[in-house]
Structure 1
Amino acid sequence: MRCEICGHENEQGKFCEKCGARFDTQLEEPVKIQTVDHQEVTGDLSNSSFSGVERTVNRETAVGSPPSLHVFTTQSPPKAASNGAVGDESAQTNPYLESAKQNSKVYLDYFVKGLKSPLAVTHKTGSEQLLNGTISMVIFAILFPLMIYLSVGSEARNFFSSSPFVDFALKPAFWLAVFMLLIAVYTFGAVKVSTNPKADLREIIARFGTMLIPFIVISLIAFLFILMGSSIGGAFLSISLVGGIFTIPALITMSYKREGPGGLDTLYAILLIYAAIFLTMLIIGDSIGSMFRSGNMFGF
């Protein structure tokens, strides 16, 4: 066996007789290590925050093919912006806007159900629908004076008033809202003395607003006819106003079951409501007329 170190020929053994080198170590090739450093970039090349480094080590042996060993370093996360700005996903929405959207959605659902089955929904309506019922009453009070304002020509409006929108729309809307609230109070009193002594005023207002939903739709139909210049709009408007003032109190009074013996008969209770309504119309009519003549409408 020839020694690869000194060239001496040996007969046998594990070591060279001349230099003492071990024969089995000479079977292995020197280890070759190749280190390659390069940067792996998965995004923008200009972003220096990505610092992933791959190192490749190749080792050759005398027997097998050269294996490859890959070692990866951990990428450092991108740094946050210095101004502390965050993306659009973390941007906070306006809480008032979200609340308005939610309330609008609730009222729309309430409106659709009341339009489909007004009597059935009214029987199930409680004081928890007070806000929705109040909104319906306000909408009804605004629609009627607005239609009167639009039905009167601009020349006539300017002739009778220097502020026609205030005098023909805003002020009548205020008085009509007060009038509708008084009708609800009269209905509450009639229910108390006739069918249900434990009736709640908030529940009466909620039911009143629910009953107004079909008449609001009739008012909108009248509004469309008025915009088109058709006289049919006046007929629809009259139906809506008469139904809202006289029909609803009677239906609400009859929607309550009699809790016990005694109490005023339901028919007489409804007649009392009508009497109170006519008396209120006379009082409010005289007050509004005197305010128009004096040029002062409730001080505003």
Structure 2
Amino acid sequence: MVTCPSCGHENAEGSKFCEKCGAALQGQSIQSTQNTAAASADNAKANEYLEATKQVSLSFFHYFSDVIKHPFSSGKRYGASNLTNSIITMVLFAVFLGLTVYFGIKNLIKELGTLSYIGEIIRSEEMNIQVSFVEFGIKPFLFFAIFVFIIAALVFAASKLSKMDADFKSILVRYGSYLVPFLGLVAIGFLLSLLNIDIFTWFSAIGFIGTFFIVPVLVLVSLYRENKNGLDIAYSSLFVVVCTMIVLYIAQRMYIAGLVEKLEEIMGQGLFF
């Protein structure tokens, strides 16, 4: 339909003059055609993105289902074509841990509300404790995401010390694959934190320890071939573990301590103001 610019009457597509007032519709028809073409292009692009997202999601579902059954053997046979799935696994791990921190802190404040003296203060109208999603949700997510890739880089460095034939991409693929079972534990921990079930910390802690101390060793073992010229795998594994502990210590001084201070600040404002 072509709208008349003079009277607003809707005319049939392709009309040169308005059926009601006789005004020329030539320019309006061209504009209408252009708008229709632009809308069609936008719809096609949106459908393309939707289809691509659907394919990636389906691919990751099959990947996750396969790896969760046989993590070690599946991780060894996957190649560079599964890099996207491995990165998605790492990102989801960081997302779940970040959200677990956020909801865990909210649950902690609720638990404090059950204590007699503190509970009266927390429930009082004068107090309004707000847990920042940026500070306790997004920033922990970024921290865990960066930390995962740092550990993957350490594994790559260790593989070079042992003269293993592996590039950084293959390290990421295997790291992401062996991470899948621990992603499952972290996801369970997240769901339990939503339900305010205390044991969520156990699942999250095991997932965290496994990801940063067990998975790197599994990656090195899966790549290891006896090579007298390279560093023995026992020492390359020890190298990764020691470096991981050093990075954790630095992170604790730079970020985790600041996170605890933020929590203390929130509680202090609630208790004294």
TM-score by length of 2: 0.68
Which deviations, in whole Å up to 9, do the C-alpha atoms of 1:97-124 show, x marking residues without a partner?
1111111111111111111111011111
Corresponding residue number in structure 1 for 2:148: 180
Give yes or no for the alignment of 1:125 onto 2:78.
yes
Deviation (angstroms), 1:175:
1.0
For 1:163 and 1:232, the matched residues in 2 are separated by 21
Corresponding residue number in structure 2 for 1:134: 87
**How does 1:210-289 map onto structure 2 within 5 Å?**
210-258=177-225, 260-288=227-255
Structure 2 residues without counterparts, runs of 5 or longer: 1-11, 15-32, 37-42, 111-121, 263-273
For 2:188 and 2:260, the matched residues in 1 are separated by 33
Distance 1:176 1:160, change over 3 A: farther
Corresponding residue number in structure 2 for 1:199: 166
Deviation (angstroms), 1:224:
2.8
Corresponding residue number in structure 1 for 2:5: none
Per the alignment, in what secondary structure is the counterpart of residue 133 of structure 2?
Answer: helix
Deviation (angstroms), 1:156:
3.9
Identity of aligned residues (%): 30
Distance 1:244 1:294, change over 3 A: closer
Asked whether the equivalents of residues 195 and 256 of structure 1 are also in contact (C-alpha less than 8 Å), the reply is: no
Matching residue's letter, 2:102: Y
Deviation (angstroms), 1:223:
2.3
Give yes or no for the alignment of 1:149 onto 2:102.
yes
Deviates more, 1:164-173 or 1:286-295: 286-295
Per the alignment, in what secondary structure is the counterpart of residue 85 of structure 2?
Answer: helix
Deviation (angstroms), 1:142:
1.0
**How does 1:75-94 map onto structure 2 within 5 Å?**
82=13, 94=47
Corresponding residue number in structure 2 for 1:6: none
Deviation (angstroms), 1:182:
0.6
Per the alignment, in what secondary structure is the counterpart of residue 199 of structure 1?
Answer: coil
Deviation (angstroms), 1:257:
3.3
Distance 1:188 1:121, change over 3 A: same
Deviation (angstroms), 1:253:
0.3
The structure with more radius of gyration: 1
Asked whether the equivalents of residues 195 and 258 of structure 1 are also in contact (C-alpha less than 8 Å), the reply is: no
TM-score by length of 1: 0.63
Per the alignment, in what secondary structure is the counterpart of residue 94 of structure 1?
Answer: helix
Corresponding residue number in structure 1 for 2:59: 106
Per the alignment, in what secondary structure is the counterpart of residue 150 of structure 1?
Answer: helix
Distance 1:293 1:145, change over 3 A: closer
Asked whether the equivalents of residues 79 and 170 of structure 2 are also in contact (C-alpha less than 8 Å), the reply is: yes
Distance 1:94 1:258, change over 3 A: same
Deviation (angstroms), 1:246:
0.5
For 1:223 and 1:152, the matched residues in 2 are separated by 12
For 1:179 and 1:260, the matched residues in 2 are separated by 30
State how many pairs are aligned: 210
Which deviations, in whole Å up to 9, do the C-alpha atoms of 1:52-93 show, x marking residues without a partner?
xxxxxxxxxxxxxxxxxxxxxxxxxxxxx95799xxxxx957
For 1:103 and 1:293, the matched residues in 2 are separated by 37
Distance 1:200 1:160, change over 3 A: farther
For 1:153 and 1:294, the matched residues in 2 are separated by 16
Matching residue's letter, 2:250: I
Structure 1 residues without counterparts, runs of 5 or longer: 1-80, 86-90, 296-300
> Which structure is higher in helix share?
2
Asked whether the equivalents of residues 136 and 259 of structure 2 are also in contact (C-alpha less than 8 Å), the reply is: no
Matching residue's letter, 1:180: V
Distance 1:112 1:195, change over 3 A: farther
Matching residue's letter, 2:148: M
